[in-house]
Amino acid sequence: MSLFEFIKKSPKAELHLHIEGTLEPDQMFVLAKKNNIQIPFKSIDDVKRAYNFDNLDSFLKIYYEGTKVLVNEQDFFDLTWAYALKCKEENIVHTEIFFDPQTHTERGVKFDVVINGIYNALLKAEKQFGLSFKIIMCFLRHLDESPCFKILNQAILHKEKIFGVGLDSSEMGNPPSKFKRLFKKALENNFITVAHAGEEGPPKYIWEALKLLNVKRIDHGVQCIKDKKLVEELIKSQIPLTICPLSNIKLKIFKTLKDHNLKKMLDINLMVMVNSDDPAYFGGYLNQNLIEIQQALNLSRSEIKKLIINSFKSSFLTKIQKKDWINQIK
């Protein structure tokens, strides 16, 4: 079996996926027309041309523009179902997806509408083809901490659907420490915590996420390499880092995939794995990320296997579930 076939056929877990970031240009146009929403693009090609980003903030402007077409429960169901079918196609057997309720509630969409659409689609996928899942609700870090408590209170009402909480959006100038009280309340209500840190932001943000937010996983974390003590701590604790190669190139974290530090991180035994982040915007779903990073860094079969095994080890599946899937990676 070729390495390409090995990547395609191996069961995989995806741990860093924003469901709003799976909104493909053609789906955006269909929903805009259905819901009579004005978007600043005249064609699908216009959207694709706009997908040249300078940094995280320039991406987020287009990202938030696109989410305006998501209005009712069926829209969120259809969006999530399309991703679930992609999981089936790519042999992703377990996914832990992010959603950003504030992106929608800020424009008048009810929290229940968002979570029910997403959850019901994933439930259908679980029943139809065995896709297991966890849902992680993210707070938008460019907003103040105070209004986030209202969103957390709504999440508590849907605790059976929402497994954990995270932190995303504009990183620079919005350190994890800004949300210390919020995450304390989330932990008191038995939510697992994760956070985006060290994507564009400094290693200090990763330290804050670990110490102040008590996170079980760091999303991105590629800047950890700049802090020797932090690297030692991450190796010792085996706190996972959810790496998103194509995202890192699109957002200019690294100039090219050949410059990416994934292999270095893997070599020193950091708990890293590959994910797609916002695949509709960044040029590829999970398999494409694995294929392109393998080619760019000349990763061996054993290194790719380790990345895939790490995706299960780093998941919130039970120990038995993790073992069962890992045993199927040949």
Domains annotated on the chain, with CATH: 3-326 (3.20.20.140)
What is the model's pLDDT at position 314?
A: 98
Phi and psi at residue 288, to the nearest 5°: -65, -40
What is the model's pLDDT at position 50?
A: 79
- The angle at the Cα of 220, spanning 106 to 22, to the nearest 5 degrees, equals 50
Residue 321 and residue 260: Cα distance in Å, rounded?
31
For the beta sheet containing 217-220, the strands, ordered from the edge strand earlier in sequence to the opposite edge, are: 12-18, 92-99, 132-140, 164-168, 192-197, 217-220, 241-243, 272-274
Task: Please give the average per-residue pLDDT across 119-139, as a whole number.
Answer: 98
Residue whose pair of structure tokens reads 């670990």 in the numeric block: 210
Banded pLDDT at 133 (limits 50, 70, 90): very high
DSSP state of 226: G
What is the model's pLDDT at position 51?
A: 80
Q: Work out the number of other CB atoms within 10 angstroms of the CB of residue 93.
A: 21
Task: Please give the average per-residue pLDDT across 24-44, as a whole number.
Answer: 90
Does the active-site annotation cover 199? yes
Strands 164-168 and 192-197: parallel
This prediction has a pTM of: 0.96
What is the model's pLDDT at position 85?
A: 98
Banded pLDDT at 236 (limits 50, 70, 90): very high
Greater model confidence, 13 or 330: 13
152-207, pLDDT tens digit by residue?
999 999 999 999 999 999 999 999 999 999 999 999 999 999 999 999 999 999 99
Q: Are 106 and 67 in contact (CB under 8 A)?
A: no
39-55, pLDDT tens digit by residue?
888 888 888 887 877 78
Q: Are 287 and 251 in contact (CB under 8 A)?
A: no
Residue whose pair of structure tokens reads 């938030």 in the numeric block: 64
What is the model's pLDDT at position 44?
A: 84
Beta strand extents in the chain (DSSP E only): 12-18, 92-99, 132-140, 164-168, 192-197, 217-220, 241-243, 272-274
Q: How far apart are the first and last CA of the chain?
A: 10
Residue 208 and residue 224: Cα distance in Å, rounded?
12
Q: How far does CA 222 lie from the centroid of its chain?
A: 14
275-308, pLDDT tens digit by residue?
999 999 999 999 999 999 999 999 999 999 999 9
Residue 191 and residue 217: Cα distance in Å, rounded?
13
Q: Which of 199, 200, 208, 292 is catalytic?
A: 199
The DSSP bridge partners found for residue 136 are 98, 164
Q: How far does CA 121 lie from the centroid of its chain?
A: 18
